[in-house]
């Protein structure tokens, strides 16, 4: 054999030569059809992965854009006086698209060959049993939440905040599109928690299929976008699962700058005491509800309370930005 000949990845015809397509489910048949159509497993996997991310992200953002444009839904808006303008939405979209194509696309493309090296299946059929997928996704959620908690807290350290994380805090009242509005470095840092779980699982277990990763990415994007939506509906997931964070939990972080550093769950913030100001705020709101106030009186008091929390957050943000790499405040001029 000529050792200088370039490596050619087996075509889909070769990969599925011994597969009985008649025994596959509809989704599995479509999976095979995609790989047969592209006829290059590496290209098919990379393209499908990036398209999934873009379709899910912007597809999930569209309902929130529509909701923001309809005054009826303001009754459930956590900060009803702060509705994103069309200009803000467009500026946010441009930054998100830049990150998607310049940062996330290369990472998505390189992730799968790396994961395959650890044993992840991509083109293979049939898919794993749904019970196995549920357990794997549960592990990814817990791992990502813990990783995000510590990485997010680190990003609130002076120099990292000032030069990286501050961009994400541009909006004190976040909206769906702003979920991935961030500095490219932050996209890489926090995105590590999303892909490191599957990679570690592959390294130790090796029985992971990319269809499970796709389900995980879809759910993770839904979680991130919904947490930044700025709306707390009676049917929102945090009212069904008390340990779920949701928009009501994360909105306080953007409004008050402090507390609530985790993503999906409330456990880490409670365990490490980084939800004390948030708990005080919610307690005040609960006490106000017991005063038998009119809607106008309650709304006025809530706005006053939110404004106070936001002002305190601005002071905390200014203090954080004063610190240098040595951890000392620079001398006043």
Per-residue pLDDT reduced to its tens digit, 89-110: 999 999 999 999 999 999 998 8
Q: Which of 13-17, 116-120, 221-225 has the lowest mean pLDDT?
A: 13-17
In this prediction, residue 333 has a pLDDT band, given cuts at 50, 70 and 90, of very low
Domain ranges of the chain: 21-65+78-321
The predicted-structure confidence for 170-226, as pLDDT tens digits, reads as follows 999 999 999 999 999 999 999 999 999 999 999 998 899 999 999 999 999 999 999
pLDDT of residue 115: 85
Is 80 exceeded by the pLDDT of residue 326? no
In this prediction, residue 318 has a pLDDT band, given cuts at 50, 70 and 90, of very high
In this prediction, residue 1 has a pLDDT band, given cuts at 50, 70 and 90, of very low
pLDDT of residue 10: 72
Cα of 170 vs its chain's centroid, Å? 17
Pick from 281, 253, 255, 286: which is nearest to 269 by CA?
253
């Amino acid at each position: 054999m000529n050792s200088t000949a370039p490596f050619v990845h087996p075509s889909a015809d070769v990969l599925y030569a011994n597969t009985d397509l008649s025994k596959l489910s509809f989704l599995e048949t479509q999976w095979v059809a995609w790989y047969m159509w592209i006829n290059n497993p590496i290209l098919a996997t990379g393209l499908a992965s990036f398209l999934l991310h873009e379709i899910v992200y912007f597809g999930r953002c569209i309902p929130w854009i529509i909701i923001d444009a309809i005054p009826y839904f303001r009754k459930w808006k956590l900060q009803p006086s702060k509705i994103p303008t069309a200009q803000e939405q467009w500026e946010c979209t441009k930054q998100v698209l830049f990150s998607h194509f310049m940062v996330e696309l290369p990472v998505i493309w390189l992730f799968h060959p790396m994961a395959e090296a650890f044993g992840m299946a991509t083109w293979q059929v049939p898919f794993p049993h749904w019970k196995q997928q549920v357990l794997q996704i549960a592990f990814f959620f817990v791992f990502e939440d813990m990783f995000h908690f510590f990485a997010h807290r680190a990003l609130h350290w002076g120099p990292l905040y000032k030069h990286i994380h501050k961009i994400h805090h541009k909006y004190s009242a976040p909206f769906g599109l702003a979920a991935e509005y961030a500095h490219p470095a932050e996209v890489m840092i926090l995105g590590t928690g999303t892909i490191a779980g599957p990679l570690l699982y592959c390294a130790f277990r090796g029985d992971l299929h990319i269809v499970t990763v796709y389900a995980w990415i879809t759910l993770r994007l839904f979680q991130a976008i919904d947490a930044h939506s700025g709306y707390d509906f009676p049917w929102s997931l945090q009212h069904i699962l008390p340990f779920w964070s949701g928009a009501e939990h994360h909105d306080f972080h953007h409004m008050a700058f402090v507390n609530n550093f985790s993503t999906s769950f409330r456990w880490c913030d409670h365990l490490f005491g980084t939800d004390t100001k948030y708990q005080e705020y919610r307690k005040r709101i609960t006490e106000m509800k017991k005063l038998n106030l009119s809607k106008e009186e309650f709304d006025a008091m809530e706005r006053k309370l939110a404004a106070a929390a936001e002002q305190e957050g601005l002071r905390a943000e200014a203090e954080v930005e004063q610190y240098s790499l040595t951890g000392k405040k620079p001398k006043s001029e």
